[in-house]
Amino acid sequence: MAFYVVQFLTGLASAASLFLVASGLSIIFGVTRIVNFAHGAFYMIGAYIAFTLTERLSGAFGFWGGIVLAALAVALIGVIVEMVLLRRIYHAPELFQLLATFGLTLMVEDLVVLIWGPDDLVGRRAPGFKGAIDFFGQNIPSYDLFLIVLGPVVLGILWLLFQRTRWGVLVRAATQDRDMVAALGVNQKWLFTSVFAVGVFLAALGGALQIPRDAVHHAMDLRIIVEVFVVVVIGGLGSIVGAFVAAVLVSELNAFGILIFPKISIILVFLVMAVVLIVRPWGLFGKPEAAARKTPGLTVNPWRPLTSNERLMALAALVVAAMLPLFAGNYLLTVGSEIAIFVIFAVSLHFLMSVGGLASFGHAAYFGLGAYGIAFLAKMAGLPMIVCLLLGPLLGCMGAAVFGFFAVQLSGVYFAMLTLAFAQIVWSIAFQWVNVTGGDNGILGLWPSSWAASPSRFYWLALGVAALVTVALRAMVFSPFGYALRATRDSVLRSEAIGIDAKRIQWTAFVIAGTTAGIGGALFAYLKGSVFPDNLGISLSVDALVMVLLGGVETVSGAVIGAIVYKALNIWLVSQTDLSKLVLGGFIMLIVVVFPKGIVGMLEMLAQRRKKASPPGSPLLAKPIESAE
């Protein structure tokens, strides 16, 4: 019994940090509508700076002062980031801010290693809380007890801040209608900056308070950000109390899950999140969103099929690409194959995200399922490659059919989070079900049949499939199904009013996108000769998002260009420098600020400008809340 009580208390102690970080994310999202991917990075910097400060400053004051100073310093960094980066992109298309903060995360991951080195750092114990308390023969660290008390105290302080101060009232008002707040004379800019500072302060404090419990390392950010997303979604975006309850729930699930279901402990949390989202789509303490936000700017450049000239140009580009084996070596051809495969992957997400308006944060699940499908068919059933390639993607198709059915019941950020949860479930299965999937060791020794074995032949295969998939999905965009899908994207209500079964259309799109991703994954398995849980991990899902956003989310062909540029740059940078993440992150942020419409979006805009003088002002920065009177 005592053991379970101690386990429970350990869970509560872990909840404290999680709550701090999650409440910060929730506050920032509420007001600025930015899903701050860099929140985990701020948490990590908080831990690193606190480590340095508590090492340098001596005594009890030095320790606690160091923790608070670290959080303040990171909040200052947050203010600079908000003023320099985010202020420029508040009116960019939704999710674009996600791309910017992702770029920031990449940079921080490299910077941290550059400054503090790659090794784990073990910090000082907290003065006054070094011992442990005996509880019926079980030890409870007294620092854990401190954290258990701290959580509710911070909750209380935040509650007072939001209910009893003018700043809190303004923040709550802005959470609901930020333009109206401006129309009452409140300077939004400073409100946003201060909210961002408070949110980042909380994240950094959460990180700093972890140093007596855990080693500080350079992968802390990704681990916490996924958990924090889960907490915020279970609790309800924008609800502080919800973040607290969900943080406790998630931490206890982690603490007990490992005892009761050691095999599926990772899945448990995501399973609970999926159930919560299906039963209460806006989270335990959240409120249903009043009205869907307008799709920004889509009317400016109406989509149209390629003209015959443009078709010829695309064909010419394909022919040039097909001539690569004439002069390139094996390495370049492998790189080319990989890029072609990622074009397939990006195009499939683009179909879901740009055409269907459903931004999936877990698209890698279907890519990876396709890859695992190949592995099962080839290794266990021993089927030949051509059969595997035709059947393997079916696993991605089935996964998409099951998960998509639930996911399309939601929209917006909640859709994104549910798809993320599903992807993590699949990842956990691949990671933990060692008997079948090989776990972390993956499944090795998948080689293409002789007809596709040489690098140039495999390249042609990948290129051909990529071209076919791209053409097929493009044709679908301009088919009646594509029109219906775009109608549901622009207004579910209006499309249903003219007889479109929106959920069924969206589900179909989800399955199409999942199957297509599965095709990419199947080829990828043969290219690499192996499959690993990483093939369906979160970083691959983020890669896909970046490729689509980079190319231009509001364009038809952006994903192709985005995939080529991002993947080529990525591979090249990894081969050139140890600091590839730093350079890539900086590049992404530059693109976001300079070309807020993506690469293809920018080219289209230039082409249009040349055609006719555009109306005064820049249409792409038109405020999203505007509606013609």
Partner 1 sequence: MKLTVQDLNSHYGPAHILFDIGFEVGEGEVVALLGRNGAGKSTTFRSIVGLVAQRSGRITFEGKDVSTKPTHEIVREGLGYVPEERRIFTDLTVEENLEVGRQPKRPNAPHWTREKLFALFPNLGEMKNRPGGRMSGGEQQMLTIARTLMGNPSLVLLDEPSEGLSPKIVEQMVDAILTMKKEGVSIVVSEQNLHFARLISDRAYIIERGRICFGGTMAELDARPDIRDAHLSL
- Taking residues 282 to 301 in sequence order and writing x for each that binds partner 1 by CB under 8 A, - otherwise, the string is -----x--x------x-xx-
- Which of 183/326 has CB closer to partner 1? 183
The number of residues that bind partner 1 (CB under 8 A) is: 35
Which listed residue (139, 187, 575, 577) binds partner 1 by CB under 8 A? 187
CA distance 200 to 569: 31
Q: What sign does the CA torsion over 69, 75, 81, 84 have?
A: negative
Which listed residue (38, 181, 364, 417) binds partner 1 by CB under 8 A? 181
Tell me how far apart the 2 most distant CA atoms of the chain are, in Å. Answer: 81
Give least dist CB 304 to partner 1, A.
16
Write out the DSSP string of 450-502. GGGTSHHHHHHHHHHHHHHHHHHHHHHHTSHHHHHHHHHHH-HHHHHHTT--H
How many of the other CB atoms lie within 10 Å of CB of 319? 9
Q: Can residue 172 be called a binding residue for partner 1 (CB under 8 A)? A: yes
How many of the other CB atoms lie within 10 Å of CB of 169? 12
Write out the DSSP string of 38-58. THHHHHHHHHHHHHHHHHHS-
Q: Can residue 177 be called a binding residue for partner 1 (CB under 8 A)? A: yes
Q: Can residue 215 be called a binding residue for partner 1 (CB under 8 A)? A: no
Return the structure tokens found at 39. Answer: 């929140």
Task: List 370's β-bridge partners, or say none.
Answer: none
Which listed range, 61-69, 171-179, 389-397, 511-519, lies at the site for partner 1 (CB under 8 A)?
A: 171-179
Q: Can residue 629 be called a binding residue for partner 1 (CB under 8 A)? A: yes
- Taking residues 233 to 272 in sequence order and writing x for each that binds partner 1 by CB under 8 A, - otherwise, the string is ----------------------------------------
Which listed residue (59, 185, 288, 329) binds partner 1 by CB under 8 A? 185
Give least dist CB 618 to partner 1, A.
8
- Which of 39/178 has CB closer to partner 1? 178
Please give the span between the terminal C-alpha atoms of the chain, in angstroms, as a whole number: 66
Q: Can residue 628 be called a binding residue for partner 1 (CB under 8 A)? A: yes
Which listed residue (118, 136, 166, 320) binds partner 1 by CB under 8 A? 166
Query: 412-432 and 265-279 helices cross at what angle (nearest 10)?
Result: 160
- Which of 153/622 has CB closer to partner 1? 622
Q: Can residue 607 be called a binding residue for partner 1 (CB under 8 A)? A: no
- Which of 167/433 has CB closer to partner 1? 167
Return the structure tokens found at 516. Answer: 């297509």
Give least dist CB 31 to partner 1, A.
13
Return the structure tokens found at 45. Answer: 């910097």
How many of the other CB atoms lie within 10 Å of CB of 574? 12
The 8-class DSSP code of residue 306 comes to P
- Which of 454/491 has CB closer to partner 1? 491
Token pair 């400054």: residue:
115
How many of the other CB atoms lie within 10 Å of CB of 564? 20
- List residues binding partner 1 (CB under 8 A): 166, 169-170, 172-173, 175-177, 179-188, 287, 290, 297, 299-300, 615-617, 619, 621-623, 625-629
